C-alpha cells in the first residue's frame, strides 16, 4: 500500500494588552475583547480561577469581576463560583489541584467555545493553562498575570505545565492563550522579592539578544531596585516583546533541542527543588545566570569586563548570587540537575552561554570541574560581599 503523507499548518494569533485597573467600570478593554465572541448559536461561559495569595491583597476582586461581567459582558455566562487556588510553586506540585480544576470545568459546563480565565502568578497560570489545555482537548485560555515574572515572561508565552515526581514541568502542553492582559496596577501589592525576581528574566533575554536593552537595565538599575513604576513598565513591555518575537520567529513548540530562553535555567530549576522552592524562580534564575556567566569567563568565552558588568547589575538589584545548596553533597546534586535538564531536552544537552553581552552561543557539553570552580567563585564572592557589608 502507498504511504499517505499528511501536512497541515495552523496559524495562532493572540494579543498582549497593557492596561490599568482591568475590572474598573470605566475600563472597557476586556469588554472590547469579548465583543469579538458574539456569534449566535453558542452559549459561551467563563470560569475564573484566582491565585489565593493575590486575592488576599485584593479582597474586592471577586465582587469586581462579577460586577464587570454583569455590566459589560452579559453575553458570556460567568460561572457561579470563582475558584481560588494556592499561589506559588506549591500549586504545581499538588495533583489534587489539577483534578479540582478539571472537575470545575465539568461541573460548570465549560466547553471548547468557553473561556478559562487565570488570574495570578506564573505558577498558577501554568497550572490553569495545563488544566484548560487538556480539558475537552483545549478550552480558550485568558491569562491575567499578577507578577513581574509572569507579565514579562511566562504569562506571555505558549507553555503550560505542572511538576511531577520532583521534576519541574514534567507534565505540560504547548497551548497558546487567546489573550493576555498585563495590568500594571496589579504589581503594586508585590513584595520586594517578587518585584525584583521578575527582573531576572529581562536580564536573561537582554544578555542573549539585545545589548542595548542590557545597557538600559544597567543605567536604570537603581530606579528598578527602588520600584520606579515607569521604569518597570518599560522593562515589562520590552521583555514581553522580545519573548513573543522569539517564540513567533523560531521554534515555538520546541521541536528542536535549542532553547535559548532557558539561559541560566538548568541550575535554576535544580536549585528551586533543592531549596524546596524557598528560593523563588526569578531568584534562582539570577543565580543560574551568574553561574553560567562565570563558567563562560573561566573557559575564555566571555570577557572578564562583561562578567563584572553582569554581576554588578545583579548585585545592585539586590540578588543573592550564591546559595549553600549549590555546593551541597560535593556539588553532585547540581551536576544531577544538568543530567535532568539533558533528559528534559530529549537526550541532547544544549546550553546557552554568553560570548559577549547581547550574544549567546550554544554548547552541548559542560565541564563538571569548571562547574565546581564556578560555584566556588560565587561562594568566595558572596563571602567577600558579606564581609564588606559587615564593615560598612
Q: Which residues contact 277 (CB under 8 A, 6 or more apart)?
A: 88, 89, 90
Query: Do the Cβ atoms of 144 and 181 come closer than 8 Å?
Result: yes
pLDDT at residue 194 in the model = 93
CA distance 11 to 197: 33
* Beta pairing partners, 77: 45
Which sign does the torsion angle of CA 107, 109, 111, 115 carry? negative
CA distance 356 to 304: 10
Q: Which helix (H) or strand (E) holds 92?
A: helix 90-93
Count of positions (residues) in the chain: 392
Q: DSSP letter string over 230-267?
A: HHHHHHHHHHHHHHHHHHHHS-TT--SS--GGGTTHHH
Average of per-residue pLDDT across 198-227: 96
pLDDT in tens, 155-198: 998 999 999 887 888 899 999 999 999 999 999 999 999 999 99
Pairing mode of beta strands 77-78, 45-51: parallel
Cell numbers describing residue 101:
480544576
Dihedral of CA atoms 218, 202, 180, 32 in degrees, nearest 10, equals 20
> Which domains are seen in the chain, by residue range?
15-189 (3.40.50.1970), 192-391 (1.20.1090.10)
**Residue 347, pLDDT above cutoff 70:** no
pLDDT in tens, 273-320: 889 889 999 999 999 999 999 999 999 999 999 999 999 999 999 999
Query: Do the Cβ atoms of 19 and 27 come closer than 8 Å?
Result: yes
Q: DSSP letter string over 138-201?
A: --EEEEEE-SHHHHHTGGGSSEEEEEETTEEEEEEEE---SEEEEEGGGGGG--HHHHHHTHHH
- Cα dist from 323 to 47, 106, 374, 382, 390, whole Å: 40, 44, 13, 9, 19
Q: Which long-range contacts link 366-369 to residues 24+ away (Cβ below 8 Å)?
A: 366/295, 366/338, 367/299, 368/335
CA distance 77 to 55: 22
pLDDT at residue 126 in the model = 96
SS3 content of the chain, % helix, strand, coil (to 5): 55, 15, 30
**Residue 258, pLDDT above cutoff 60:** no
What pTM, to 2 d.p., does this model score? 0.89
Confidence band, pLDDT 50/70/90 cuts, at residue 336: confident
Confidence band, pLDDT 50/70/90 cuts, at residue 255: low
Report how far Cα 180 is from the mean position of its chain's Cα atoms.
13
Residue with the larger pLDDT of the pair 346 and 53: 53
At residue 314, φ and ψ (nearest 5 deg) are: -60, -45
pLDDT at residue 248 in the model = 78
At residue 165, φ and ψ (nearest 5 deg) are: 50, 45
Strand runs (DSSP E) across the chain, as ranges?
15-19, 45-51, 77-78, 83-85, 115-120, 140-145, 159-164, 167-174, 179-183, 351-356, 359-363
Query: Do the Cβ atoms of 153 and 160 come closer than 8 Å?
Result: no
Give the residue carrying C-alpha cell 498558577. Answer: 124
Helix (H, G, I), strand (E, B) or coil at 6: coil
At residue 344, φ and ψ (nearest 5 deg) are: -65, -30
At residue 171, φ and ψ (nearest 5 deg) are: -105, 130
Q: What percent of the chain has pLDDT over 70?
A: 95
Cell numbers describing residue 154:
511566562
Give the residue carrying C-alpha cell 487538556. Answer: 134
Confidence band, pLDDT 50/70/90 cuts, at residue 373: very high
Averaged pLDDT score across all residues of the chain:
91
Amino acid at each position: 500500500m502507498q504511504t499517505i503523507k499528511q501536512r497541515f499548518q495552523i496559524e495562532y494569533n493572540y494579543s498582549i494588552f497593557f492596561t490599568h485597573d482591568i475590572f474598573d467600570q470605566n475600563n472597557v478593554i476586556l469588554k472590547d475583547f469579548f465583543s469579538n465572541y458574539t456569534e449566535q448559536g453558542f452559549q459561551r461561559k467563563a470560569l475564573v480561577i484566582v491565585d489565593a495569595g493575590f486575592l488576599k491583597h485584593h479582597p474586592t476582586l471577586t465582587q469586581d469581576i462579577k460586577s464587570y461581567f454583569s455590566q459589560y459582558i452579559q453575553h458570556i455566562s460567568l460561572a457561579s463560583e470563582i475558584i481560588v487556588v494556592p499561589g506559588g510553586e506549591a500549586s504545581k506540585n499538588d495533583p489534587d489541584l489539577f483534578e479540582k480544576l478539571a472537575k470545575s470545568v465539568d461541573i460548570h459546563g465549560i466547553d471548547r467555545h468557553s473561556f478559562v480565565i487565570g488570574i495570578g502568578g506564573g505558577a498558577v497560570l501554568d497550572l490553569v493553562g495545563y488544566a484548560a489545555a487538556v480539558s475537552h482537548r483545549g478550552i480558550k485560555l485568558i491569562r491575567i498575570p499578577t507578577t513581574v515574572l509572569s507579565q514579562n515572561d511566562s504569562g506571555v508565552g505558549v507553555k503550560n505545565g505542572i511538576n511531577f515526581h520532583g521534576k519541574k514541568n514534567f507534565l505540560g502542553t504547548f497551548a497558546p492563550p487567546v489573550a493576555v492582559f498585563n495590568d500594571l496596577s496589579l504589581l503594586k501589592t508585590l513584595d520586594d522579592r517578587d518585584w525584583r525576581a521578575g527582573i531576572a528574566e529581562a536580564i536573561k533575554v537582554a544578555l542573549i539578544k539585545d545589548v542595548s536593552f542590557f545597557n538600559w537595565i544597567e543605567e536604570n538599575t537603581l530606579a528598578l531596585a527602588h520600584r520606579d513604576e515607569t521604569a518597570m513598565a518599560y522593562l515589562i513591555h520590552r521583555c514581553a516583546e522580545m519573548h513573543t518575537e522569539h517564540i513567533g520567529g523560531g521554534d515555538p513548540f520546541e521541536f528542536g533541542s535549542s532553547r535559548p530562553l532557558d539561559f541560566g535555567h538548568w541550575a535554576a530549576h535544580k536549585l528551586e527543588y533543592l531549596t524546596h522552592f524557598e528560593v523563588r524562580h526569578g531568584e534562582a534564575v539570577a543565580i543560574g545566570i551568574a553561574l553560567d556567566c562565570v563558567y563562560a569567563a573561566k573557559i575564555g568565552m566571555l570577557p572578564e569586563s562583561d562578567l563584572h558588568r553582569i554581576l554588578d547589575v545583579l548585585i545592585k538589584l539586590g540578588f543573592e548570587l550564591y546559595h549553600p545548596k549549590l555546593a551541597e553533597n560535593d556539588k553532585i546534586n547540581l551536576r544531577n540537575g544538568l543530567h535532568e535538564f539533558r533528559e528534559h531536552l530529549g537526550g541532547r544537552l544544549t546550553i546557552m552561554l554568553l560570548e559577549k553581552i547581547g550574544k549567546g552561543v550554544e554548547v552541548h557539553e559542560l565541564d563538571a570541574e569548571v562547574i565546581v570552580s564556578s560555584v566556588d567563585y560565587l561562594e568566595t564572592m558572596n563571602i567577600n560581599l558579606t564581609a564588606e557589608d559587615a564593615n560598612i
